[in-house]
């Protein structure tokens, strides 16, 4: 589904990505882990088109999408949950989701009202992420955990084929963490999911395969068991966290 070849990105001489090659199969659930500064967010920003790579190629569903703009990639079925929530703060949760639904349906015309069915569809999505009671509350008044749930609802509203999750549990309490992990776990199996996450319990619970990034390179890849047993990975990363 995702096919990355020798992806490179430099920031003023600093190599954030130094030749990453990575393949994710359709329907696979892949985690990308690594210490801070390993290049995970840079990788996501390139995958979603917000950043142009210095070199290398990205293929999505067999099509070369290197350098495509974010909205083009979104229309190819790519959706993203941001590490820091990117919501429409003054708008109610329901309207946040509606805007996402509308983008998929398109085209947006100056004289066409949103269809009546949209409200029900938005409410269904909110219910799915556990925000049914909060539909009328402005996004900025939601708790942090709820905002993360809404962030996920926005991504799901796009009906993506590929879902990129950038630290979905960032800043969450243990209870919130397990709730959102369960939510992600229950998503349709056909959906390809790439998840960047620091919480190793969440990673080992959700991921079928794990890629380890370090200093802009892939240093290991395999099943959770294989990665756990990899000495190099333990040295640079896991050793510090799992002990």
Which residue's CB is nearer to another protein, number 74 or number 195? 74
* Total residues belonging to the chain: 243
Q: Rule CB under 8 A: is residue 144 a binding residue for another protein?
A: no
Residue 115 main-chain phi, psi, to 5 deg: -65, 155
| Least distance to another protein, CB of residue 137, Å | 16
Which residue's CB is nearer to another protein, number 50 or number 64? 50
User: Contacts with another protein in 168-207 (CB under 8 A)?
Assistant: none
Residue 99, classed as helix, strand or coil, is helix
Q: Rule CB under 8 A: is residue 138 a binding residue for another protein?
A: no
Strands 78-81 and 29-33: unpaired
- Quick one: which of 12, 13, 62, 113 contacts another protein (CB under 8 A)? 113
Q: Rule CB under 8 A: is residue 13 a binding residue for another protein?
A: no
Which residue's CB is nearer to another protein, number 33 or number 162? 162
Which residue's CB is nearer to another protein, number 101 or number 202? 101
Q: Rule CB under 8 A: is residue 11 a binding residue for another protein?
A: no
Check: CB of residue 222 under 8 Å from CB of residue 212.
no
- Token duo for residue 92: 């109610």
DSSP string over 18-50: EEEEEEE-TT-EEEEE-STTSSHHHHHHHHTTS
Distance CA 199, CA 170 (A): 9
Distance CA 101, CA 124 (A): 12
- Quick one: which of 26, 86, 133, 235 contacts another protein (CB under 8 A)? 86
- Token duo for residue 185: 């776990």
Residue 31, classed as helix, strand or coil, is strand
Q: Rule CB under 8 A: is residue 149 a binding residue for another protein?
A: no
For residue 52, the tally of other CB atoms under 10 A from its CB is: 12
Q: Which stretch binds another protein (CB under 8 A): 33-41, 100-108, 127-135, 165-173?
A: 100-108
**Positions in the binding site for another protein (CB under 8 A):** 48, 50, 69-71, 74-75, 79-80, 82, 86-91, 95, 98-100, 102-104, 106, 108-114, 154, 158
């Amino acid at each position: 589904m995702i096919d990355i070849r020798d992806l490179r990105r430099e920031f003023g001489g600093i190599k954030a990505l130094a030749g990453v090659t990575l393949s994710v199969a359709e329907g696979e659930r892949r985690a990308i882990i690594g210490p801070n500064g390993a290049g995970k967010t840079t990788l996501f920003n390139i995958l979603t088109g917000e950043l142009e790579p210095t070199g290398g190629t990205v293929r999505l569903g067999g099509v070369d999408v290197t350098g495509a703009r974010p909205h083009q990639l979104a229309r190819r079925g790519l959706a993203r949950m941001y590490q820091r929530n990117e919501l429409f703060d003054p708008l109610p949760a329901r309207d946040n989701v509606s805007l996402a639904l509308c983008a998929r349906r398109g085209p947006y015309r100056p004289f066409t009202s949103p269809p009546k069915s949209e409200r029900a569809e938005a409410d269904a999505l909110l219910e799915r992420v556990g925000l049914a009671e909060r539909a009328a509350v402005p996004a900025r008044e939601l708790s942090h955990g709820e905002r993360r749930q809404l962030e996920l609802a926005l991504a799901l509203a796009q009906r993506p084929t590929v879902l990129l999750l950038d630290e979905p549990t960032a800043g969450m309490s243990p209870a919130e963490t397990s709730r959102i992990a369960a939510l992600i776990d229950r998503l349709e199996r056909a959906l390809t999911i790439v998840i960047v996450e620091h919480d190793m319990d969440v990673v080992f619970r959700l991921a079928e395969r794990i890629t380890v990034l370090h200093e802009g390179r892939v240093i290991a890849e395999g099943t959770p068991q294989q990665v756990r047993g990899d000495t190099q990975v333990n040295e640079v990363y896991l050793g510090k966290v799992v002990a």
